[in-house]
């Protein structure tokens, strides 16, 4: 495509359409100029290509491989896993005709209660950056683009649509922006997705300092900046700030505002042209017809299991593991048969197949017995979707109470207890001293059961290391008192996030960052350095093949790492040369947004706030009926994985609607809830009935989309 030639021929109406998405997951085509439509789909740990009505469930999604989530893959400390996984996901994208995958998510794990932590890599910016870059490289090596997200400081869920992340520039640059910077400079992602929240009072979608001054001018990013779905507040200020593409689009108010601003001169056309140019270049580079060659489902399923096994963290072991196969085993815990293998929310995958621990045990002829007869009790525990999901933050860091009671009772039997743990983020583990072994699988993907079997029985040797600190108790977390409580999320701890905080203040933790056991033993020499190059020799001193991670810390911060795989008696010398970093110190003042009044409601109020008045409660009930309908549909399905996933989708929809704002809902729902509806709902809730009715009847007039113009001419 000759981008400049196409751009020169485009009308203002076509340009306004091009910078807006359509049909929820597509860019607008310009048929007159042979500009095709790009397809996007949710990631980041697999492909969610929706086939029917968008419901954030998976019952109408194409079958795809559910790989381990970022919380798991980061614990592998092996970028090659992410490259392999990225390539496999991209192959599935090509088969289904998807041109850009929405991921990876690289936001820092500031607090363990963040409901979306399972999608993020680490509390450490270097580890998050290296793992994220590897995934970007893997996906884009197959000709599929990525959307690096969520830029930036999107570290909580409760107020993500309207919240304000109040943080100083030094804190942002040293911690929260660093993984994005690393990936932009090393892996060159096709697109970057801006977050919903504000930073120091300014919405990310309108933040020129973030989207232009830092991302483009300092880091050299030359791709497309798109919004998260519904993250745009005012379209013209967003364009001026550097936001190219508004998603999901089909919002008449945004196109109307662009065209009016071009007409009256408040939006220079060269700014609109710049956004169009970025989008046209993206389309030109990544548009390809679907590859009709089916992807190898069995090979991808196998790869998912291999990655899960390589990333699992053995957190405690007194020699009980690995199992010899001669033990009498008793199984406890619902997650044995109903393994939690992925998180809940927009990243849910419709798996091509599922292998649970129960499936793997039965396949391999493992015989189990009632508890009194056993030598070892295997307990399969962890967080369920009721406790951890996109769209809300957890209330506490505890496991479900029924699981804690069960483990407590089993510990009283005097039998050896092995806990296999599932979940996307740390939990308090008060029983640690009373059990014999603890194997943490995180969320291991659709073939996690195979990985569990292989690790428990020593077919594979665990080698994962924690990519985040597991605190002793939630009260020990630096942001514990304020996290997720109000619209203002104040980053008062500065750069003291995760292990930086616990180490500096000498606070005991349950399991430290970078920790993980093995079935073999390793000997490490002290780090030596010549100039800026550091070396360490690692020797496998045990009797099993295994993997170890060399971790280089300078002044208490991770500066480099390398995973090595060694046979018994084998040695290797690791060489690490840390990248030169910006040593400047920046101002660390932050801006707190004034708390809005709960009443009267505004377009930025949480949707649940509408329930303060009778008209608001009626509106709330009608809108929430969508989620209730999906929940009813789920209950009609026969028992199985589809029913479970449909339930997850309905629950996610309920929670995301409750925490949404009227403004974000209209920006996300497009034709189903135009902007004048949001204005009407606000006025009706506030008791302004005449204004509310006027808005409801006031349709926003815009030209037909270019794709619709073509259909009209055919008729």
Hey, which residues are catalytic here? 228
Q: Whole-angstrom distance between the N-terminal and C-terminal Cα of the chain?
A: 29
- Give the CB-side neighbour count of residue 267, counting CA atoms within 13 A: 28
The 8-class DSSP code of residue 78 comes to: -
- Give the CB-side neighbour count of residue 415, counting CA atoms within 13 A: 24
Q: For residue 245, give both structure tokens.
A: 């593409």
Contacts with 88 (C-beta within 8 Å, 6 or more apart), sequence order: 65, 67, 295, 299, 300, 303
The number of beta carbons lying within 10 Å of the beta carbon of residue 567 is 10
Among residues 19, 529, 39, the alpha carbon closest in space to that of 241 is found at 19
Among residues 457, 449, 466, 467, the alpha carbon closest in space to that of 544 is found at 457
The number of beta carbons lying within 10 Å of the beta carbon of residue 368 is 16
Residue 541 CA to residue 570 CA, distance in Å, equals 8
Contacts with 118 (C-beta within 8 Å, 6 or more apart), sequence order: 69, 70, 71, 343, 388, 423, 424, 425, 442, 443
Which parts of 160-268 fold into alpha helices (H)?
169-171, 178-187, 208, 235-241, 252-264
Residue 28 CA to residue 88 CA, distance in Å, equals 27
The number of beta carbons lying within 10 Å of the beta carbon of residue 292 is 8
The number of beta carbons lying within 10 Å of the beta carbon of residue 641 is 17
Residue 379 CA to residue 179 CA, distance in Å, equals 36
Q: For residue 455, give both structure tokens.
A: 């690790």
* Contact call for residues 111 and 156 (beta carbons, < 8 A): yes
The 8-class DSSP code of residue 446 comes to: T
* Contact call for residues 159 and 489 (beta carbons, < 8 A): yes
Q: How far is CA 81 from the centre of its chain?
A: 17
DSSP labels for 306-375?
HHHHHH-EEEEESS-PSP-S-S-EEEESGGGTS---S-SSTT--EES----HHHHHHHTT--B--GGG-S
Q: How far is CA 248 from the centre of its chain?
A: 18
The β-bridge relationship of strands 191-194 and 145-151 is parallel
Task: Return the HEC string of 187-200.
Answer: HCCCEEEECCCEEC
Task: Return the HEC string of 75-139.
Answer: HHCCHHHHHHHHHHHHHHHHHHCCCEEECCECCCCCCCCCCCHHHCCCCCHHHHHHHHHHHHHHH
Residue 508 CA to residue 207 CA, distance in Å, equals 39
The 8-class DSSP code of residue 394 comes to: -
Task: Return the HEC string of 470-485.
Answer: EECCHHHCCCCCCCCC
- Residue 446, class by beta-carbon neighbours within 10 Å (0-12 exposed, 13-18 middle, 19+ buried)? buried
- Enumerate the β-bridge partners of residue 439: 314, 420
3-class DSSP state of 451: helix
Question: Angle at Cα 198 formed by Cα 604 and Cα 282, nearest 5°?
Answer: 105
């Amino acid at each position: 495509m000759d981008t400049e030639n196409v751009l020169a021929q485009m009308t203002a109406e076509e340009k306004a359409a091009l910078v807006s998405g359509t049909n929820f997951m597509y860019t607008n085509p310009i048929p007159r100029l042979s500009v095709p439509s790009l397809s996007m789909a949710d990631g980041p740990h697999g492909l969610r290509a929706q086939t029917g009505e968008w419901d954030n469930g998976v019952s109408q999604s194409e079958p795809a491989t559910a790989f381990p989530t970022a919380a798991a893959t980061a614990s592998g400390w092996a970028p090659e896993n992410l490259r392999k996984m990225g390539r496999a996901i991209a192959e599935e994208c090509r088969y289904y005709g998807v041109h850009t995958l929405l991921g990876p998510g690289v936001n820092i794990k500031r607090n363990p209660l963040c409901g979306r932590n399972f999608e993020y890599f680490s509390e450490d910016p270097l580890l998050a950056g290296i793992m994220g870059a590897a995934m970007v490289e893997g996906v884009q090596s197959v000709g599929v683009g990525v959307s690096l997200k969520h830029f930036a400081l999107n570290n909580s869920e409760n107020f993500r649509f309207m919240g304000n992340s109040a943080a100083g520039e030094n804190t942002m640059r040293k911690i929260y922006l660093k993984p994005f910077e690393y990936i932009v400079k090393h892996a060159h992602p096709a697109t970057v997705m801006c977050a919903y929240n504000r930073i120091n009072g300014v919405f990310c979608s309108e933040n020129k300092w973030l989207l232009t001054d830092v991302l483009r001018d300092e880091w050299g990013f030359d791709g497309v900046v798109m919004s998260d779905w519904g993250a745009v507040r005012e379209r013209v200020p967003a364009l001026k700030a550097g936001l190219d593409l508004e998603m999901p689009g089909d919002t008449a108010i945004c196109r109307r505002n662009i065209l009016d601003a071009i007409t009256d001169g408040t939006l220079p056309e060269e700014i609109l042209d710049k956004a169009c140019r970025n989008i046209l270049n993206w389309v030109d580079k990544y548009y390809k017809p679907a590859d009709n060659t089916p992807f190898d489902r069995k090979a991808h399923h196998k790869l998912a299991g291999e990655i899960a096994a390589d990333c699992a963290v053995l957190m405690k072991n007194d020699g009980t593991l690995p199992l010899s196969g001669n033990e009498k085993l008793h199984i406890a815990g619902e997650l044995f048969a109903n393994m939690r293998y992925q998180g809940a929310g927009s990243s849910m995958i419709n798996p091509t197949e599922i292998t649970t621990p129960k499936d793997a045990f039965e396949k391999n002829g493992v015989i189990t017995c009632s508890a009194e007869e056993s030598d070892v009790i295997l307990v399969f525990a962890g967080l369920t979707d009721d406790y951890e999901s996109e769209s809300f933050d957890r209330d506490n860091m505890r496991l479900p109470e029924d699981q804690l009671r069960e483990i407590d009772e089993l510990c009283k039997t005097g039998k050896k207890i092995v806990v296999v743990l599932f979940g996307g983020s740390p939990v308090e583990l008060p029983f640690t001293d009373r059990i014999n072994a603890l194997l943490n699988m995180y969320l291991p993907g659709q073939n996690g059961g195979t990985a569990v079997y292989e690790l428990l029985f020593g077919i594979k040797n665990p080698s994962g290391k924690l990519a985040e600190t597991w605190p002793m108790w939630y009260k020990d977390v630096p942001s514990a008192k304020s996290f997720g409580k109000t619209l203002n999320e104040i980053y008062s701890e500065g750069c003291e996030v995760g292990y930086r905080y616990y180490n500096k203040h000498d606070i005991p933790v349950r399991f430290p960052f970078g920790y993980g056991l093995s079935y073999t033993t390793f000997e490490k020499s002290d780090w030596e350095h010549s100039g800026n190059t550091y070396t360490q020799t690692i020797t496998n001193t045990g009797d099993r093949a295994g993997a170890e991670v060399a971790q280089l810390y300078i002044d208490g911060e991770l500066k480099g790492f390398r995973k090595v795989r060694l046979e018994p008696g084998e040695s290797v010398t690791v060489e690490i040369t840390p990248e030169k970093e910006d040593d400047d110190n920046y101002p660390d003042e932050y801006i707190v947004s004034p708390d809005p009044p709960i009443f009267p409601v505004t377009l930025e109020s949480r949707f649940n706030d509408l329930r303060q008045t009778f008209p608001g409660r009626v509106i709330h009930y009608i809108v929430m009926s969508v989620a209730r309908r999906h929940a009813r549909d789920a209950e009609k399905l026969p028992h199985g994985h589809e029913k479970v996933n449909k339930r997850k989708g309905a629950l996610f929809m309920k929670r995301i609607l409750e925490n949404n704002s009227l403004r974000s809902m209209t920006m996300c729902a497009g034709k189903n809830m135009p902007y004048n509806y949001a204005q009407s709902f606000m006025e009706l809730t506030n008791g302004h009935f005449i204004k509310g009715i006027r808005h409801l009847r006031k349709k926003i007039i815009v030209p037909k989309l270019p794709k619709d113009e073509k259909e009209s001419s055919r008729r």
